[in-house]
Amino acid sequence: MTKDRLKKTIFFSFTGIILVIVAYNLWAYQGTLLAPLIKDFHTDSPHEPITSVLEKKGIVTPVSGLWLEVVKSKHALTVYKGKTPIKTYSIALGKDYLSDKEKAGDNKMPEGKFLITEKTVFSPPRRFLGSRLFLLNYPNSEDLIRGLRQGSLTASEFLAIEKAGKEGVTPPQNTPLGGDISIHGGNGPLMGNSWTNGSAALYSKDMEEIFDLVPVGSEVVIRK
C-alpha cells in the first residue's frame, strides 16, 4: 500500500468514526441537541390541542377526573374522562412490550392499575426522558403476589411496598421486582416503537400537552 493510499484510508476511517460518534450523540441526546428541530412533533397532524378536543366534547377546563389507558399492543396512550375517550397519543415501549413485567432489568412494562405518584419537570430536558415525567406506583400491592411467588422480597421490602400501596405513594424502587416505570417525553416514537426500559415514551410536545391536566393520584390502566 502506498503512503498516499494509506493516508486516505486513515483519513476516511477517522472521518467515519467521527460521523458515527456525532450521529450517536445526536440520537442519544435528542431531547436537548435536536430539540430546535423536532420541537413541533405531535401525534396528530394537523395538531389539535387536547383543550380544544375537551371543549368540542362539552367538557369545560379546568377539568378533573382524567385518567390514562396504555394499550401496549397498539402502542397507544388514551386520555379518558370517565368512560369518554378524549385523545389518543402514540407511544414507544420496551423491546418485550407485550410481556408483563416480572423483575428488575427485564425491560418489560407492567400490566394492571396504577397511580401517578410523582410528576417531574426537567429543565433542560433529559436524555430519553424529555421535559416531563409521570412516575407510577410500581411495584404496587398486586405485584407483591409475584414477589411472594418468587421468594425474592425480604420482609422489610414486602412491608414497605404494602405500606406504599395503602398510602398511594411511590413504593421502593430498588427491590428485585424493579421500578422506575413511568410515562415521559423524549420524542419516543421518533426513535421507533420499542426502545425504552419498560416505560411509555410520548412525543415531548404530547407529554407537555397532558402534563398539567393530569394530577398526581390519577389512575393509569395498562393493558396488553
What is the distance between the alpha carbons of residues 123 and 32, in angstroms, rounded to a whole number?
Answer: 10
pTM of the model: 0.84
Per-residue pLDDT tens digits for 142-174: 888 888 888 888 889 999 999 999 999 999 999
Burial of 201 by CB count in 10 Å (0-12 exposed, 13-18 middle, 19+ buried)? buried
Per-residue pLDDT tens digits for 71-111: 999 999 999 999 999 999 999 999 999 999 989 999 999 99
194 and 92 Cβ atoms separated by less than 8 Å? yes
In which element (H, E) is residue 124 found? strand 112-126
- Reading the block at residue 219, the C-alpha cell is 389512575
What is the distance between the alpha carbons of residues 46 and 170, in angstroms, rounded to a whole number?
Answer: 37
